[in-house]
Amino acid sequence: MELKELIQRAPYHLTDEQVNWVYQTKDQMTQEQKIHQLFCTIAYTDDEGYLSHIASGEYGGLMCRAMKNEELVNLVNYMQKHSKIPMFIAGNMEAGMNTCSVTGTHVGCQMAIAATEDVHYASELGRIVGEEADALGMNWAFAPVIDIDNNWRNPITNTRTYGSDANRVAQMGAAYVSEVQKHGVAASIKHFPGDGVDERDQHLVTSVNSLSAEEWMDTYGKAYKTCIDAGTLTVMAGYIMQPAWSRKLNPSLKDEEILPGALSKELLTDLLRKELGFNGTIITDSSAMAGLTSAMKRKDALPTCINAGCDMILFAKNMEEDLGYIRDAVESGVISQERLDESIVRILALKAALKLPEKQKSGELYPTLEHVNQVVCNANHNEVSKEVADASITLVKEEKGVFPITPERYPRILLYPKEAGATDLAFGAESRVGAVVERLQKEGFQVTVWQPAKGFEGIEAPMSDVTDNYDLIIYVANYATKSNQTVVRMEWAQPMGADCLAFLDDMPNVFISLENPYHLADVPRIRTYINTYGSSDNILDALIDKLMGRSQFKGKSPVDAFCGFWDAHL
């Protein structure tokens, strides 16, 4: 079937008039403009000099980091008004719009949504993202994550996923896709062929999805097929190998020839397009990741991505150099004119499917701050965020009789803060242990935050310093997964783990994890353990209500919070 016919089918569904716009626009572009259109760059500021430099590049799109609403409105208006071909304005809209707008609604991370066991909230996440993104003039969500959190040691998937159950991941991913795209915002399911099996990070190394072809199809394949059938317009390809499918589709491959998703023709053209039937636009994950250059030289890797089936390249190491790599590949015939034009057609078809040319003509492409302030984090959106917090917080283990935690029962609390340094936090996590302390004090508790004491083995403070002066011990951990960090585990103070669980049999101990759901691996004998899947104000308010017995714990863990350890159940 010809490409012109394909873009009239799912997921683009272009009209004859839109198809004409795609091909007329393509035919009017120079070769250099086509090469530039393959790239989606990034913006951190609305500084006009910076934006002028980006606009002069005529790139296909850009991704925004979190900014104030006024800055985002200025950025979007400047870029769209200085772009002959309207741009994609993208963002990592996984848990809400807080990663794009500093006041955007944080609905709840995907694992929190999964913990509600209600697909309605996956739809609500898509709706709220769609409404806020559309108001801000943004049109591409690098979400949902449909990775499956199979390995608790994986340092990057974690709460970004809908958990470890493939059926739930498929259903909730599809619900997000269907809803967000109703608002003129393209979904991008990621990270093909699927993260969460091994314990390595594709930001740092080419990682491996080691499932058999049959296991993959029953899990990741199901998630991708379900979201494709739901109409997802785009797929983000990662730097993750899937050796079983690569070998099945090309039995002659040697081990050293197996490539990760974004560089693999077997995985993109044969598996994703032919086996799973995806007809939309494919973009790489960040091309700055070491998982790309672990596979081959960068000058060869970028053209290989395009030839494998990627239509766009996300970010650059050095834009002029990366443009040169693609330009050289086109001029030498490494990337054929046919392949280049196919990518351009799919990029333009996506813009047409989002009605960007029509919005450019009508003026709808340009956001206003007045409208943004009416939509972003409005009362309805904030109420849904509160509902998700209430429905998701999970009591994983409970010591009989510990609850409710009230000032009458436990007037004196010793709180152990377990938190990454402020410069180490990522994915929206902030220094939030202090916010828990403030809430407890407001409820009337006397809270002492543990500080390491001087001394070493033999002359440490006596146990009675704790047992005589406190009624309850609370641990609050705030360790978020993030790129460039290979392990998310508890670290303890000197000497000899001075802040570890030494008083389990002396008084009640409660462990609260604000981010990582897997800390039972390191505190297996704790008898009361809670996962909140985040630390927003709405989540912390709901947590205090549950601790004090004003609200029931309702969440169900979407993963094995016991990490497979039998003693963690004790």
Separation of first and last alpha carbons in the chain? 60
Amino acid at 507: M
Using CB atoms within 10 A of its CB, is residue 135 exposed (0-12), middle (13-18) or buried (19+)? buried
Using the structure block, give the residue that is written with the tokens 């199979």: 150
User: Among residues 553, 541, 532, 554, which one has the least CA distance to residue 108?
Assistant: 532
Dihedral, CA atoms, 393, 395, 400, 403, nearest 10 degrees?
-10
User: Among residues 313, 233, 239, which one has the least CA distance to residue 281?
Assistant: 233
Count helices and strands in the chain by DSSP H and E runs: 22, 16
Q: Calculate Rg over the CA atoms of the chain.
A: 25
285 is catalytic: yes
Amino acid at 258: I
- Dist CA 274 CA 221 (whole Å): 13
- Three-state DSSP state, 512: strand
Contact assessment for residue 330 and residue 302, using Cβ atoms and an 8 Å cutoff: no
> What single-letter DSSP state applies at residue 566?
G
Give the count of alpha carbons within 13 A of 315, CB side only: 15
Contact assessment for residue 101 and residue 66, using Cβ atoms and an 8 Å cutoff: yes
- Dist CA 284 CA 443 (whole Å): 49
Contact assessment for residue 395 and residue 453, using Cβ atoms and an 8 Å cutoff: no
Contact assessment for residue 174 and residue 227, using Cβ atoms and an 8 Å cutoff: yes
- Dist CA 86 CA 366 (whole Å): 11
Which regions of 299-372 does DSSP assign to beta strands (E)? 312-314
Dihedral, CA atoms, 399, 403, 409, 410, nearest 10 degrees?
70
Using the structure block, give the residue that is written with the tokens 């543990």: 450
In the set 149, 285, 311, 522, the catalytic residue is: 285
Bond into 381 cis (ω within 30): no
User: Among residues 67, 112, 108, which one has the least CA distance to residue 91?
Assistant: 67
- Dist CA 372 CA 383 (whole Å): 18
User: Among residues 14, 4, 15, 63, which one has the least CA distance to residue 233?
Assistant: 14
- Dist CA 314 CA 141 (whole Å): 13
Query: What's the maximum distance between 2 C-alpha atoms anywhere in the chain?
Result: 83
Using the structure block, give the residue that is written with the tokens 């917090």: 389
- Dist CA 385 CA 399 (whole Å): 29
Using CB atoms within 10 A of its CB, is residue 157 exposed (0-12), middle (13-18) or buried (19+)? buried
Name the residues annotated as catalytic: 285
